[in-house]
Amino acid sequence: MRWTCWLAIGLLTPVFAAPTIEKTATTWTLHHGNCSLSVSLADSVCTFRSPAADFTITPSLQLGFGWTKSLASGPTPSVATAGGKTTLTVTRDVPEDRQFVTLVTAYDGLPAIFVTTKLRVLTGTKSQYYFLQTSLPCDQYVAAGTAGPATVTLDKTMWPSLAWRPWWFVPREHGGVALLPTNVAGTAPGQGSPLFLHALPKGAQLCVGDSLDASFGLASVPDASAAAALYEQASSRRVAALAPWQRPDEKWDYGKPAPQWLRDAEVYNLYYRSAAQWTDEVVATKLKGFPLIVGSTPDPAALERCHRQGIRLLHYVVYTCLLDTALQVKEGGQVYSEWTESVDHESRDLKNHPDWVCVDKDGTAQHDTWGMEHGHKGLLNTCLHQRGLRQAAVRQVRILMERGYDGVFIDLAGPTVECYGDKLGKHQHEHPEWSNTQAYEELLKAIYGEVKRFGDDRIVMQNTCTGIIQSHWASCDSQMLEAVPYAAGSTALRMTAPELLWTTLRQADAVKAGKVPVILPYFGGVADLQAVKAAALNSYAWARVSGFLWADGFGLGDLKGLESFSRELYSKRTGKPTGPLTFDEHGLRRPFKDGLLRFDVPPN
């Protein structure tokens, strides 16, 4: 791909009229050359018409465990013409305080129509996902190969995907459709199944002003070579819809930069063990050399041992679920050591605070899903509206900081479950207009403020799991992507290559502002050690070219046969980058003081 250089190709194109707009009471249509694209004002369904094929593009927007469509309500569509391009914008309301935006753009002299759809949230922070379902059948397609255009026949016995390439050509009876994507696409099993396009990324935790996007170009072309030439021409025009990441209108507040020691760390790790396992030997061998360890022991001796070895130590905390020890014992469980070793745990025991328990729509206490799966029936979700709970959380953090910890690691720092206790009269919410997530985000801000009271060199790391939340940067130094890009039991990428590139580019401004994204891939449960080594190196390369920190929870070191490899990787340091990030469909590259690092995209 030519995202970084946008080479001018000098492709000759026919001269045709400038784009035009047709308006009716139900649809607005952009006409361009021999193609047109209409947007329905009722539900945002697009219709593409061309000599090669006519088909619809229908948004499927996630709503809870089901799906919804956009509504007929929304502002009047608008048209903007400037700099040789015409853009039609249609914005429709979506249930749960969201908007779905469709931008249809045509460029003078460029025989294609480009579409960008955006799903936005208007209030709070929410997990989102959507895809675009077309009515264009696809059993076979042509894409860029190593030796030129290559034909791919899809295996319709499964859910096949179209490999990520800069262009696809879907043949029809006469010519075909050129599709210029920014994400992967797929079809359903069975011959003649229509094509669908994922948003980029497929799912994310969105805050106000953020969006999931699906961008692509469409054209009617005679053959695959024409599709390839169209892509080259669009690249030379810097078509925004083809960029792997589009800068949002919102300008994020990144707050204060993280301390320099964290920004220079390169690697970190996690060691969740009871106090008895933080011995002198373990700290001096297993943990030594890591600038930062995340742990869960409040043992002063363990903290002292780490500091003697030059290791900073963060303490694990979690507040979206807490234990009711009486219920735990009543249900036949044990009060686990992570709880009993937790600082000031008595003040957070839900047996003494029934009003802190999160209440579901049916008026019952919400059990934590992970707790139920692992035999901890006393682990309950919490109502973060409760002032007493927020005060207890800040008090625990204060005690940890007073003991000399270098910061806290807040688990489950993303959106949390909703509490209906106020609406059902079970308890009161201090701000009933807030969601439980909004109340939680106020607590996260308070924790950050409390930690920084003890010095700017102390840090807050949030585990936002698989998606970094832009609005959280002002209240933390670091955010974690857990089980990214590999999860236990597989060496297949958990995120697609476009999603990984999107994450790298999206967080570039945060890194520049001094914030520190970190990743935590998992490597257990795979018998092929060579595949594990390749995945580990690839994840390390992705982290470093992106400006992120890398860790594995000592998963590699615990695999028999990889002890030496893990020690070598744990001690690897690249130094600062000496050049810019470059990327194409094969991966990402960046030069460092000690050499070139490359993240390779495995072939589909």
User: Which among 134, 211, 245 is positioned nearest to 179, based on CA atoms?
Assistant: 134
The two tokens of residue 453 are: 């009271």
The two tokens of residue 152 are: 């791919």
Q: Taking all residues of the chain, what is their mean pLDDT, rounded to a whole number?
A: 93
C-beta neighbour count of 444 within 10 angstroms: 21
Residue range 457-465: mean pLDDT, rounded? 95
Per-residue pLDDT tens over the stretch 104-141: 999 999 999 999 999 999 998 989 999 999 999 999 99
Is 501 in a helix, a strand, or coil? helix
Evaluate if residue 17 carries a pLDDT over 80.
no
Q: 603: pLDDT confidence band, cut at 50, 70 and 90? A: low
Percentage of residues in the chain with pLDDT exceeding 90?
85
Evaluate if residue 4 carries a pLDDT over 50.
no
At residue 604, the pLDDT reads: 56
At residue 251, the pLDDT reads: 84
Evaluate if residue 3 carries a pLDDT over 90.
no
At residue 597, the pLDDT reads: 93
At residue 8, the pLDDT reads: 28
At residue 12, the pLDDT reads: 35
Is 345 in a helix, a strand, or coil? helix
The two tokens of residue 285 are: 């061998």
CB–CB of 325/300 below 8 Å?
Answer: no
- CA dist., res. 66 & res. 56, Å (int): 21
At residue 297, the pLDDT reads: 86
Q: H helices of 403-515, where?
A: 436-452, 497-506, 508-512
Bridge pairing between strands 582-584 and 587-592? antiparallel
Per-residue pLDDT tens over the stretch 543-579: 999 999 999 999 999 899 999 999 999 999 999 999 9
Span of 92-101, 304-313, 464-473, 517-526 with lowest mean pLDDT: 464-473
pLDDT, greater one: 201 or 41: 41
Evaluate if residue 14 carries a pLDDT over 70.
no
Evaluate if residue 247 carries a pLDDT over 80.
no
Q: 537: pLDDT confidence band, cut at 50, 70 and 90? A: very high
Percentage of residues in the chain with pLDDT exceeding 70?
97
Evaluate if residue 394 carries a pLDDT over 90.
yes
Q: 245: pLDDT confidence band, cut at 50, 70 and 90? A: confident
At residue 233, the pLDDT reads: 96
Give the phi and the psi of residue 275 in degrees, each rounded to 5: -55, -35
At residue 244, the pLDDT reads: 84
**CATH class of domain segment(s) 21-241:** mainly beta
Helix (H) or strand (E) holding 22: strand 20-23
At residue 203, the pLDDT reads: 85
CA atoms within 13 A on the CB side of 586: 7
Residue range 463-482: mean pLDDT, rounded? 94
CB–CB of 523/488 below 8 Å?
Answer: yes
Domain boundaries, the chain: 21-241
Per-residue pLDDT tens over the stretch 32-44: 999 999 999 999 9
